[in-house]
Copies of this chain bind each other. A is one copy, B any other.
Amino acid sequence: MTLSIDEVNRVKLAPPVEGVLLLFHSRWSPRSFSEREVSPADLEKAFEAARWAASSSNEQPWLFLAGARNSDTYNKIFSTLVGFNQTWAGAAPVLILGVASAKFAHNGLPNEYALYDLGAAASYLTLQAAALGLVTHQMAGYNHEAARQTFGIAEDYVLGSVIALGYQGEPAALANEQLLGREVAPRQRKPLKDFVLTSWGANEGS
């Protein structure tokens, strides 16, 4: 017996905090995807959210290559994934590779915030996807050089994550015990005091 989708989502839900949007606490990154396809309209809504992310000098340096299953783009992205990610990500109906220009369009100077802004846009995308009842799982685990070659991505672009996107599947559908174990484990985060150093006026707090 393993957990159902509803049960695992209850395990993954972060402890609610009054005033904090449920979206931040309920979004997580499953590896089990159902066979249900994603409509082009819903995918467009996820990108519409990404569109309005903030960026340095409003450069909007991000570019997303998105492929539905069986498309050339999907197959190319999948082929670059590391073995572990290939054991589960092929069940996702959509794979997306995010990249960003690290040169400002207006003057060709280096944009040191390209990767930072891409991370922001991707997070808007994943949050909006969650709001639509979709799930996403971002992966750093792919062959970056192979991705550059297969898509002809120039050196002045930086590479972000591959995003698997679709509807959540039953944990039991995962291929092995290692995947299942991760799927049903509670989420862990550092306490605030470990990553926020606050100073509240002349008498220093912490």
Contacts and interface: CB of A to CB of B under 8 A. Distances in A.
A117 B116 CA distance: 7
B17 A66 contact: no
> What band does the interface of chain A fall in when counting residues whose beta carbon is under 8 Å from B?
35 or more
Contacts of A40: 198, 200
A85 interface: no
Interface of A: 14, 17, 19-21, 23-25, 27, 29, 40, 42-45, 47-49, 51-54, 56-58, 60, 62-74, 112-113, 115-120, 122-124, 126-128, 131-132, 138, 140, 160-161, 187-190, 192, 195-202, 204
A32 to B, nearest CB: 17
Given A113-B161, A195-B51, A71 B24 contact: no
